[in-house]
Structure formats: C-alpha cells, structure tokens
Structure 1
Amino acid sequence: MNAYAMALKAVGEIIQDYDSDKMFPAGLRSQATPDGRVSHESPWWNGNMENPYCNGIEGILEAYHKSLKKVQLYGPTNFAPVVNHVARYAAAVQDGSQYFILLIITDGVISDMAQTKEAIVNGAKLPMSIIIVGVGQAEFDAMVELDGDDIRISSRGKLAERDIVQFVPFRDYMDRTGNHVLSMARLAKDVLAEIPDQFISYMKSRGIKPNPSPPPYTPPGHTLHTQI
C-alpha cells in the first residue's frame, strides 16, 4: 500500500462514519484527458461522470487502484478547481442539513496559490472544510500558509470568515519503530482535530441551532413519570 492509500485509509475510515450512506465521490486531481488536455477535477475514479460515488473507503481504494492502470498523471498541482468544484455542492445546501469535507492528498508543491486562496476565502462562507495531507519529501510551506492557524488567509484584501483548512505532512507520522497502526491513528487524530470547531463555527455564523432532542422512549402501556 503506497502513501496515498495509507493516508486515505487512515483518515477515511474515521470520516466515513459521519456519512449516513457512506457513498463518496472521488477522483484524481491532475491527469491527461483523451484529447490531450490536463483535467484537475475529472474523470472520476470509478469512470462514471454521472454517478462518481464509491461505496465506503474500501470502494474508493478499489477504484483508485484500478484508475492508476488507466490514467496518466500530470502536473501542475492546482487546488483551486477542485475546491471550487466542492464549493458548488456546498453552496446548494446552506441550511445546516449537510456539511462537506474535501480530502486532498498531494505530493506536489501547489502551482495556483493565488487562485486557491481566493477559492478558500469564498469557501469559508459555506458548510465545508478542507483536509490536505502532503506525502513525499516536497516542501510544503505553502500548505502551512493555507492552513491559516497562525495568520488567517486572505485574497484580494478580503479575510476568510473562518479557518476551514487543516494540513498535515504524512512523513511526520511514519513511525520508525514499525508501529504502523499507532502511526496511522496519530495521523487520523491530528487530521481531524479541527473539524468539530470548524463545523460549529459555520453553524454559529449562520445562527443554525441543533434540532431538539427526541423525547425519551416510553414502552407501550407505560406512563412516563417525571420526579421533581
């Protein structure tokens, strides 16, 4: 299992439990299309443009390995197209009923920093978060900047409403003792550490409150007594 698959499995196995049907769209970021162009958001791993969903993380991994035999990967490393792609989905559902998480696993230095900043600033208004996992030995200084923990990112003089990006370098979680399970557990923990606060910050910014708790279950034929 390569670093991409390891990172996807470690993070995805936790994220998938927050999705009711565990059906996820997944695709390669930069690849050559049949007419020679470079696509940054399609085709999808399962080869179906109309229904790009994979069944759970195992389904994504299966589609990923199959796609590697069929497509030719290309640079540059552009994030803005895929961020904007997910943002279009999030923009259609802003009532608090859905929250979108974009997972990007990359081994390249980002090539469209200005456009990506603008996409993130726009996405910060929407119900979405972005997780970036950097694999390999590339310099990921730009990813740290996108993370925005120390300095909130801006574009065209406009600050992002909230922090929606979490970046981690995969190499920091390669345990030299060989304890793979522990390493991947640490990766998943750190990658997902900011998601709850990001989710809550969106709901609060839109004044969306949790639905009331359902009443306690009362078996048929029994009366619920409340003691004061």
Structure 2
Amino acid sequence: MVIPSNNWPFTSAGTSRRQSSVDLAKPPRFDDELPEAPAGVRDPSKVRYKLIFGIDFTANNLWAGKFSLKNESLHAIVDGDTLNPYQEVIHIIGKELALSDDDFIRCYGFGDVTTRDEGVFSFQENDSPCQGFEHVLECYRKNVPNVQYFGPTSYAPMVEAAVDIVEESGGLHHVLVIITSGQVAMGSQQEQETIRSIVDASSYPLSIVLVGVGDGPWESIQKFHDKISAHQFDNFHFVNFTAIMSKTTATAEKVKDFAAALINASMAADELGIMSRMTGRAKKITPKPPPVLSSHCAQRKGPVSAEVAEAQRSGICWEDEKDTAFECGHMSCIKCALRMPQCPFCREEITTWRRVYP
C-alpha cells in the first residue's frame, strides 16, 4: 500500500461560519509543538503494550472531509493504493510500530445505527481479535460498506470496552487508539459520560490516544482535556493527524512525527509503574457483532427490528425517519432540521447539515 504524499488540499471556498475561524493546520495548544522524541522512542522494540482500535462511524464522517478529502466521506473506500484517513492511520501505526501477524489487536466501531452513543461493535464475529494490522485493514474494508452512520459522538462506550479488555488481560498495559472525525459536543450528556469514563480508566494501565482525522474543527479539544481533572494520571492525549500530514516536510518525516507523537502519548502508564493494576469491576460493555448488509438496507428491503425502527425515527416529531445529520452528530428528519437554528439535543448552533441516505 502507498500512503499518498499530498492528501490534504485546504481551500477557503465554501468555508462555513465555524470553519472560517479555525486554523486547520494548527493543532490545539497542549499538542501544539510535538516534542523531540526521546532516545529509543522511535525504536519499535521499546513498545511494550497491546493495541486497541476504536473507529468512529458517526454521521460527521460524511462531511468532515469537505476540505481534507475533497468532499468525500472520510470512510470512502477507493480502489488501488489510495487510502482514506482511517486506513492511513492504521497503516502507519502498523508499519512504524513494526506490528506483525502475531500481534493480536482488538478492533471496534462506534457511533453507527446499531451502537449510537451507547455501545460498540466488534470488527469480527465472537469479538475475536485481528491478527496484525493488515488483518485490521482487511476487516475494516469488509465492514465499512455495511455501516449505517449515525451518532451522536461519544467516546465513553469505547473507553469502557477498553477497560473491560484490560481487566480480562489481568492488567496488561493497553493503548486505546480512537480514530475520530469530530469532538464530543461541549456541555452535552455525551461529554459528561466521556469525561467520567476517562477518569475511571485512569485506575488502569490504559493510555487513550485520540487521533483526529478530517477537517475538524478541534478548537474545543483543549477545553475538553482541561475538564479531565480528577484522573490519576494523564491518560488522555490528542494527536491531530490532519495537521501533521499537512506540513510541508517530506512524507516520511511526517509519518515519523505521527508515530513519535503516538508513542510519546502512550508512555505515561509505563513511567508511573501502574502495570497490572485493576479494580475487579464487572464487564460493562458487551460488543455487538459486525454490521451486516441486510440490516443496513432493511428499511428498503423488508421489516426492521424494534430497536432499529426506534433509532431511525426523529427524536423531535417522532413521526418521520431520521435522514438529516447535524455537524454535532445528532440527527432528525429533514422537516424538523429545516426549522431549527440549534440542535435540540445539545444546543449547538447548526451551521451545516447533510441528508443521509441508506
């Protein structure tokens, strides 16, 4: 596979009110300048943790590539060697960390119609791990066509699923890499639940790295980070993948910078000596199976389950199906969307919305 050398063409045309105030090439303050990697950090032999991938399948992915991916969905699968941002992140992590087919990697999706902001689905049946990053990419390509994007954005179910995995492993150090196209809405219930889950996770040898792909905006991520004040160690870090890959340096150097930022963010648990720490809590998240085509197209081809039917109805009028997604990730029917200046669920200003079709 070949990583495109110039996949990030930013333009000012068509910029929305919110996007016009955001410098897409500038990461938030607490990751504003990537530190020089300490000796040994870039050496894959220094990596002493197991990986977990969490992939964002909220509706925000449909428009978050307006500038960075020429208006394509961030999950668009292209034939040939061109990779979408999610595939790029997985590919770089696999190559730079020298992952082999012997590495078992747990992979999950969240934010689709089957999980919403309440759960996760496994990339494989019976919640089996993938073997090596090439297998992760293979499972990703297999699942993407079957996903029905939904929302809103919440990282809490993914964090809780990762804690369950650490418990099952007997306290082995894991790094949860959440690849996402958008922030959790400020002041929302999803934000409160996500903060709580991150604080709870700091009792475990679990490092959480949020990798931002697409246009963002990411201007609120610093405020979000500052709200996580009760954690036992700094277990949450943000890496702006788009900003790193839009630098004018050589592609190989940008790839190294991203890998170094990821490894740096994962070292805190090792340094604090909290390996094997657990609380013995009961399992909180039971991953759903991978989405299947029949459920993705059910509303066109036959009856749907009560759960899916309820999820598809607008939460405002409770009559028509949800077919319009807001920038915050919440959805409604088009009739309700056209008469609302603010999202009725999180009160965020509606600056962009997009029709979503099955």
Which of the five TM-score ranges fits, normalised by the shorter chain?
0.7 to 0.9
Matched, 1:22 2:103: yes
Is there any run of 5+ residues in structure 1 with no aligned partner, and where? 207-228
Match of 1:10 in 2: 92
Shift of 1:133: 0.5
Shift of 1:128: 0.5
Of 63, 71, 74, 2:139 maps to: 63
- Counterparts of residues 142-221 of structure 1 (less than 5 Å): 142-147=220-225, 151=226, 153-154=228-229, 159-175=230-246, 177=248, 179-203=250-274
Match of 2:217 in 1: 139
Distance 1:187 1:79, change over 3 A: same
Match of 1:210 in 2: none
Rounded Cα–Cα distance in structure 2 between residues aligned with 1:146 and 1:6: 26
Shift of 1:100: 1.2
Deviations 1:3-57 (A, max 9, x none): 111112212434564x993111112111123xxx6365433223x1x13311111
SS at 1:129's partner residue?
strand
Distance 1:15 1:132, change over 3 A: farther
More helix by share: 1
Question: Using CA pairs below 8 Å that are at least 6 residues apart, which structure has the higher relative contact order?
Answer: 2
Is the CA contact 1:173–1:183 (under 8 Å) kept in the aligned structure 2? Answer: yes
- Corresponding letter in the other structure for 1:165: F
- Counterparts of residues 21-170 of structure 1 (less than 5 Å): 21-33=102-114, 38=116, 41-46=119-124, 48=125, 50-93=126-169, 98-111=172-185, 112-147=190-225, 151=226, 153-154=228-229, 159-170=230-241
SS at 2:175's partner residue?
strand
Rounded Cα–Cα distance in structure 1 between residues aligned with 2:227 and 2:112: 31
SS at 1:161's partner residue?
coil
Is there any run of 5+ residues in structure 2 with no aligned partner, and where? 1-82, 278-358
Is the CA contact 1:106–1:134 (under 8 Å) kept in the aligned structure 2? Answer: yes
User: How many residues of Structure 1 are paired with residues of Structure 2 in the alignment?
Assistant: 191
TM-score of the aligned structures, taking structure 1 as reference length: 0.73
SS at 1:24's partner residue?
strand
TM-score of the aligned structures, taking structure 2 as reference length: 0.48
Q: Percent identity?
A: 24
Distance 1:20 1:70, change over 3 A: closer
CA RMSD of aligned residues (A): 2.7
Shift of 1:93: 4.7
